[in-house]
Amino acid sequence: MKAVRFHQTGDADVLRYEDVAVPEPGAGEVRVRVAGSAYNPADGGMRGGFLPIPITLPHTPGYDVSGTVDAVGDGVTGLAVGDAVVGFLPMTADGSAAELVVAPADALVPAPTRIPLADAAGLPSVGLTAWQALFEAGGLEAGQRVLINGAGGPVGGYAVQLAHRAGAHVVATASPRSADLVRAAGADEVVDHTATSLLDAVTEPVDVLLNLAPITEEEFVALATRVRDGGVVVSTTPRVPTPDDAERGVRAETIYVHPDADVLRRLVALVDAGELRVEIARRVPLAELPALHAEADAGRVHGKVVVVPPAA
């Protein structure tokens, strides 16, 4: 089968589109014929060698997958050959940038039927990140105010939709390129961070501040002053400390997405109910994944991109 792998860490040119052996599912695993493999920035971080996630070389990237069950290992119940599935794969294992991938059966759930199967790969890790940040870490409730900094990205798109659906008042930052999408996702206020100071634009306190964007430590500390007493600052950017304020009872939470099949099922149900949109910026052939990594390294990838194997 065809797959993209890197045999050493480095720039995008270490990626190779090559023939590899067909993987066999072990006990508790299934093999999935890949329909879509979503690109995530962490893929570039692992390939570049600066994201401390232990992998074995050569490594196949891609930890979001959608596809069809192709073979079932011993002890697997609830999944059968031909089932359409979606899942968040273990980041340490070989991923979905291939025609076939082996996955733990408990990482997969039935794929949404309302959207193309390939596009469903754009849901798992970013949808889970948004949910875990807002509700598990942030404790967001109806009637509260949330500021989502970096709402124009893939996680931000889900965060805005989920916060709006939960009955929160959503203040979102976005560039002019993504402002319309963010507004359509349910943001009550959209701040153009390229033209306006957030400290000037956000005049009312918020209950939850969710940071999804690159930010300096000084900027983050300043922005946290807009969180009300007893509120929470949540961040997905661990390179910068998440600020708290013990005197005001403001706590800090840094999010590292974790698998949760039950929440993923809920997200799929929202997609099928028409209450959650999966936005895919574009699809690219698997053979072009090295070029996509190079684009991402140069900061030219915007929105969620799904990689499609030749057989899909």
Domains and CATH numbers, the chain: 2-123+278-308 (3.90.180.10), 126-254 (3.40.50.720)
Q: What secondary structure, in 3-state letters, does 208-273 show? A: EEEECCCCCHHHHHHHHHHEEEEEEEEECCCCCCCCCEHHHCEEEEECCCCCCHHHHHHHHHHHHC
Q: Residue 312 has what pLDDT?
A: 62
pTM comes to: 0.96
Tokens matching residue 95: 């991923």
Give the Cα separation of 154 and 122 in Å (integer): 9
Q: Taking 70 as the threshold, does the pLDDT of residue 25 lie above it?
A: yes
Q: Residue 59 has what pLDDT?
A: 98
Q: How confident is the model at residue 257 (pLDDT cuts 50, 70, 90)?
A: very high
123-155 pLDDT per residue, tens: 999 999 999 999 999 999 999 999 999 999 999
Mean pLDDT of the region 209-229: 96
Nearest CA to 186 out of 157, 215, 220 is that of 157
Q: Residue 212 has what pLDDT?
A: 96
- β-pair type (251-254, 227-235): parallel
3-state secondary structure of 307: strand
CB-neighbour burial class of residue 237 (10 A; exposed 0-12, middle 13-18, buried 19+): middle
* Average pLDDT of the chain, as a whole number: 96
Residue 174's alpha-carbon distances to 15, 118, 128, 212, 231, in angstroms, are 32, 27, 21, 11, 23
Q: Residue 199 has what pLDDT?
A: 86
Q: How many other CB atoms are found less than 10 A from the CB of residue 51? A: 15
Give the Cα separation of 52 and 148 in Å (integer): 27
Give the Cα separation of 57 and 271 in Å (integer): 36
Q: How confident is the model at residue 307 (pLDDT cuts 50, 70, 90)?
A: very high
Mean pLDDT of the region 169-189: 94
DSSP string, 86-111: EEE--TTS--SSBSEEEEEGGGEEEP
Lowest mean pLDDT among 68-82, 92-106, 184-198, 212-226: 184-198
Amino acid found at 10: G
Mean pLDDT of the region 38-51: 95
Give the Cα separation of 307 and 122 in Å (integer): 10
Q: How many other CB atoms are found less than 10 A from the CB of residue 183? A: 17
Q: How confident is the model at residue 84 (pLDDT cuts 50, 70, 90)?
A: very high
Are 175 and 237 a contacting pair, CB within 8 Å?
A: no
Are 109 and 87 a contacting pair, CB within 8 Å?
A: yes
Q: How confident is the model at residue 195 (pLDDT cuts 50, 70, 90)?
A: confident
Q: Taking 90 as the threshold, does the pLDDT of residue 196 lie above it?
A: no
Nearest CA to 192 out of 225, 158, 149, 224 is that of 149
Tokens matching residue 247: 């005197």
